[in-house]
Structure 1
């Protein structure tokens, strides 16, 4: 295509740079140097990078059917192939149309008590700490989200705060903790070599099998119990019961972060996709297991890191923390509890979480793949079928053209009176279009509920051990923090 871009290294492309410096910073540097459209190489795979909002809308919304697939990655495991994150074409469309109603407002209300129960375990753990302790935010928030995902996705009590040796926690850690040797083998070696040496993915197969066994056992139990739909309000149960013509309240509510991109055109396209996507109206058992597994995988780290970054910024900005505390105390009842509707109505809390996701998007890029030849707007570029595309979210969120003083943590950007200033398709923490993050509402509810309860009882403080600025780990796809410490003191 003759595009400018950083010079690739033979066989490794530009991938080698991602092992030396956080990808998010490279995206900013390359965007400044090469503009809103440029080319890079991941090993020998050419990638088109796009950061222009008008083109992003074409790719993820208007012509989403041409870019219906995400990037193809080598995998021999059904958990990946059949999950919403990796499924392709009509298979993805069918799974999404069946799974979407399980994330409706009505379903999330049913999940709400489960999340509150996990929150009580977190608060008990925090109470046990000494006043003014230095808190390892990553660990604390990670244990909370582990408990939530285990309960919501698998109907299981992980007890992550207290039992670090449980089978669930140890298997989860094997999946979540990156094995760089296995990852490099799976990503860089030819597929036939990876298959010949018996690797299905970068994760040990014993860890995958643990979740497969749990999922299959739960599905069998639920299907054999005619009253299970009355007893359980977790993701497994919703998928067992799921029908694409069931609870159809799947369009985003006004408080959803992703609503910044929600035009009538996009909503109409999504509704059409959901109503025409399913020919077979149920999921197989393995497909149900795969959705629960990807819900766990995608929902654990993203939510825990968002909570980590949020508490960190509140510790660094006591005036913002005080304003949020005032809103919380005006919203909770006499026992410090809050209902779902009241939680979703808190405008400043929503702004704080929105700004957290703007400054620290959990996924630093979106990926799409063309399924047919495509003329890209008025750029004069014709994409061949199979062209890989990346939309660099972190770089867009830190572009001063869209967000003045982008390194400043400023929730005012997202207050109701200022939302109109945000240009559509420059705010993409959950993606956009029909292939956006299906678990967005659950993640926001889980994070907001945690912040509300923590800030009632504790002040977050900057201490000598608090790293400023925050340090990021080397990562190619996510914005992962290093150790993050702040002080907690009782109010």
Structure 2
């Protein structure tokens, strides 16, 4: 009898395992049935098997070369169509944009963080976009840029002290402090930055153990483990939202002063409500942006700059240290256009800086992929995708295709200059990550502006050079990092005469 029970139990376990196996692998023929090739998926991980030992950018480039511009992968058991064909990218981002939703934000549970990601991806509700559209970008950036320059000046002083002390400069570490300081000053209007604020900003887009299999789970099974902790650690999120709300409350109570309107929160407060005249004696105040929406916008600035600015400035310093002739040309341009102190207006004529930053964003984009989720059934070329399925644009790989960018692995700022002979193919240059190719929102543009101002202040004041610790090329962490993460960058610096 006991043996029979054991046999029955073993049979049930076996049947259960078979059922689980079939459930996990049943979607794996989805693309094959439609004639779409791709890397062979594995149980549990889908196409992410071994991702903890790889660099996703290189993996995407290898797959594009092997399978072509359209191939099928699986995030766990969810079909994910990878497209690098410009015509199909246009369909996803423009022609059928309403049929797709921003995937990353949809995998986040915390409402404020969800809305902040919508601000970063420029996928906000129409009513919020309409209000923000009333803000003049030129006026906004003219107001906040002095705060960024002040933070960049402090960065320069810190680097100068290290250089004068004969120390090598770990520029990536110094830039992290600059980003936190610039955000505190220009977004919240805080003259001083405490260590807790800096640590909270630095916690964005960080995976604790990227070389662990566990790190894959939030990216392939977000229902089991949401992406919240990858986007921003719980402790950091709690601190930042409380801090922003505290400053917002204080600003509402304060009387209008000379500094009113000089930081992002002031500008957002100004458009948050409007007064509607009803008759001669009564007026009605109509709230256009709630406190929660303002906090989400401010958090969006922090996330975007932590993703873009932090990386872009470090990369620029590395490149300029490795290419002294380019650095000298940029210095001459900045002296000519920015006078005593760099400003938003002064940078408008600095074309070399603009094209340098542009080609850095091409060569080292801030995100591996742009990911969208189908809101309904979609026909994309010859491939049918169902609701909940994914479409990804492998930005890192697209930007490094010789077909679109001759000698794509080489930094060449002139390829993006006004007089360049290279014709840019539409939808092959996607420098704004999840926001795609336009990046019209203040949040998206802020990160790039902050980087440009920091680079301008640094290059006008200091001269960078390679040293024995400077790598021959930029190195990125392997594993499930979510976004490209630079390894530490060491350079030497000296004051300009």
TM-score range, shorter chain: 0.7 to 0.9
Instruction: Please give the residue correspondences for 1:1-40 in structure 2 after superposition, counting only pairs within 5 Å.
Output: 1-2=31-32, 3-40=36-73
1:451 and 2:443 equivalent? no
In structure 2, the residue matched to 1:62 is: 95
In structure 1, the residue matched to 2:247 is: 218
The answer as to whether partners of 2:273 and 2:289 remain within 8 angstroms in 1 is no
Q: Bigger CA drift: 204-213 or 133-142?
A: 204-213
The answer as to whether partners of 1:64 and 1:434 remain within 8 angstroms in 2 is no
The answer as to whether partners of 2:337 and 2:349 remain within 8 angstroms in 1 is no
In structure 1, the residue matched to 2:492 is: 487
Q: Deviations over 1:24-73 (max 9, x none)?
A: 00000000001111111112221111111111112112222222433465
Q: Bigger CA drift: 63-72 or 344-353?
A: 63-72
Q: 2:163 aligns with which of 121, 127, 130?
A: 130
In structure 2, the residue matched to 1:367 is: 371
The answer as to whether partners of 2:120 and 2:300 remain within 8 angstroms in 1 is no
Please report how far the alpha carbon of residue 314 of structure 1 lies from its aligned counterpart in structure 2 after TM superposition. Answer: 1.1
The answer as to whether partners of 1:68 and 1:435 remain within 8 angstroms in 2 is no
1:400 and 2:418 equivalent? no
In structure 2, the residue matched to 1:477 is: 482
Q: 1:174 to 1:116 in 2, by over 3 A?
A: closer
Distance 2:177 2:154 in 1: 10
Please report how far the alpha carbon of residue 200 of structure 1 lies from its aligned counterpart in structure 2 after TM superposition. Answer: 6.4
SS of the residue corresponding to residue 416 of structure 1 reads: coil
Q: How many residues align?
A: 445
The answer as to whether partners of 2:159 and 2:169 remain within 8 angstroms in 1 is no
Q: Which has the larger radius of gyration?
A: 2
Instruction: Please give the residue correspondences for 1:115-194 in structure 2 after superposition, counting only pairs within 5 Å.
Output: 115-131=148-164, 133-157=167-191, 159=193, 166-180=195-209, 186-187=218-219, 191=223
Please report how far the alpha carbon of residue 485 of structure 1 lies from its aligned counterpart in structure 2 after TM superposition. Answer: 0.9
Please report how far the alpha carbon of residue 393 of structure 1 lies from its aligned counterpart in structure 2 after TM superposition. Answer: 0.8
The answer as to whether partners of 1:22 and 1:473 remain within 8 angstroms in 2 is yes
In structure 2, the residue matched to 1:331 is: 337
1:312 and 2:318 equivalent? yes
Please report how far the alpha carbon of residue 86 of structure 1 lies from its aligned counterpart in structure 2 after TM superposition. Answer: 7.8
Q: 1:315 to 1:405 in 2, by over 3 A?
A: same
1:52 and 2:85 equivalent? yes
Q: 1:450 to 1:206 in 2, by over 3 A?
A: closer
Q: Deviations over 1:420-461 (max 9, x none)?
A: 611111111114367766423322322222222211222221
1:415 and 2:444 equivalent? no
Distance 2:107 2:56 in 1: 21
Q: Deviations over 1:73-109 (max 9, x none)?
A: 5433122232243899996333333334447111111
Q: 1:348 aligns with which of 334, 346, 352?
A: 352
The answer as to whether partners of 1:154 and 1:214 remain within 8 angstroms in 2 is no
Q: 1:13 to 1:440 in 2, by over 3 A?
A: same
Please report how far the alpha carbon of residue 287 of structure 1 lies from its aligned counterpart in structure 2 after TM superposition. Answer: 2.3
Aligned-pair Cα RMSD in Å: 3.0
Please report how far the alpha carbon of residue 241 of structure 1 lies from its aligned counterpart in structure 2 after TM superposition. Answer: 2.4
Q: 1:422 to 1:88 in 2, by over 3 A?
A: closer
1:440 and 2:444 equivalent? yes
Distance 2:62 2:228 in 1: 35
Please report how far the alpha carbon of residue 244 of structure 1 lies from its aligned counterpart in structure 2 after TM superposition. Answer: 10
The answer as to whether partners of 2:464 and 2:494 remain within 8 angstroms in 1 is yes
